[in-house]
Amino acid sequence: MSKIKSFTLIELIIVIIIFGITSYLVFSNIKTTIHPLITPDKFREVFLPTGNLYIFRNKIYNDKNITNISITNPIVYDKNLKQIIFNRYKDKEVLFKYSIKNGIQNSYILECNEGIFVFKPLYTIKVNSLKEAQKLFSLEKYLPTDGNYYK
């Protein structure tokens, strides 16, 4: 008659406890990364060197598949604070279009719930008011004034 050796109940409980403690220690060290929301002043860093972003009424589309973009109720102005209306894209109304190609982005003023931003070809700045944005956009202090420059 052969005798079959098996585990006792105490040995099984000890193995289950060891397995549970090991699993807890392994899985408790896994950290989930929460990506911060990307605001308009960070678009340049995210989409460099080339990228496009379209904001529709209920959807955001970009060619880099970034989902954590924060921009709500965008209104885009030119240097004279005249609202810019974008062409339709994929048969949908475009509320905001950001594009950067070879490091050069579009120029306009953006007003949204996140603030007022001035987009120039090589930088983006957040400002406090539309008046300040218009002044910064046109850089009036660098424009020539009346004078005797060529006499």
Condensed to tens digits (0 to 9), the pLDDT of residues 73-94 reads: 888 998 888 998 888 888 888 8
pLDDT at 13: 92
pLDDT at 141: 58
Segment holding 126, helix H or strand E: strand 123-127
Contact of 69 with 98, CB cutoff 8 Å: no
pLDDT at 14: 92
Query: How many Cα atoms sit within 13 Å of 87 on the Cβ side?
Result: 2
- CA-CA distance, 79 to 118, in Å (whole number)? 10
Residues of the chain where predicted confidence (pLDDT) is lower than 50: none
Residue 54 lies in domain: 40-142
Residue 85 in any domain: the answer is yes
| Number of domains the chain contains | 1
pLDDT at 122: 82
Residue 12 in any domain: the answer is no
pLDDT at 46: 83
Residue 105 in any domain: the answer is yes
- CA-CA distance, 39 to 114, in Å (whole number)? 7
Q: CB 91: neighbour CB atoms within 10 A?
A: 5
Residue 23 in any domain: the answer is no
Residue 8 in any domain: the answer is no
pLDDT at 145: 59
Distance between start and end Cα atoms, the chain: 122
